[in-house]
Amino acid sequence: MEAGRAETNDDLSWLERACLGQDLPPAAEYCLQKAAKAYGTPDEAERLLHQALSLAPQHAAVYIAFYRFHFYRGRLKEALPYAELCLSLAAQEMGLERDWRQVAPGGADFGGFAAYGPRFFLFSLKAYGYLHMRLGNLEEGRRAVEKVIELDPRDQVGASVLLGVLERGGRDDDD
């Protein structure tokens, strides 16, 4: 699943950049920047992330930073709640159904890829699905990725790569 991992990481870099500056208090942004620099000292990085969370308790950039922190450390179970928070926040901001399974293609301009909200939702759902796949919850992961593909038939977020890996049973094409 390395191809999916690289794409998921790229997706989150875009999302984190897009979220910065969108009503994020400067002190919280400072904490996020310091946490990134302190990555090699996990306790310090996590302390700074919690500080950012206290300053911006429902901001996507903070959720994404926590997700990335846990994801890159291989703490996938701990990353999953942050993917869920991002998904919930995106749905709420766009006025979508709370349950992603109920979101219909016409619920937002998912084809208008320039819009922050639909991209945030799709990338969050893709990350959610990817984590479930990595954690062995293959059917939940499949359902999430298939929903991304349903909402994004032009595959602008690259969810088909994850579905392809799942369908190959995690094997590369060369295997």
pLDDT of residue 111: 84
Q: Tell me the whole-structure pTM to 2 decimals.
A: 0.84
Mean pLDDT of the chain: 86
For range 43-70, the mean pLDDT: 95
pLDDT of residue 11: 47
Q: How confident is the model at residue 169 (pLDDT cuts 50, 70, 90)?
A: confident
Domains of the chain as residue ranges with CATH: 2-167 (1.25.40.10)
- 95-150 pLDDT, tens digit per residue, is 999 999 999 999 999 987 667 889 999 999 999 999 999 999 999 999 999 999 99
Greater model confidence, 30 or 166: 30
For range 17-25, the mean pLDDT: 66
SS in 3 state form for the chain?
Answer: CHHHHHHHHHHHHHHHHHHCCCCCCHHHHHHHHHHHHCCCCHHHHHHHHHHHHHHCCCCHHHHHHHHHHHHHCCCHHHHHHHHHHHHHHHHHHHCCCCCHHHCCHHHCCCCCCCCHHHHHHHHHHHHHHHHHHHCCCHHHHHHHHHHHHHHCCCCCCCHHHHHHHHHCCCCCCCC
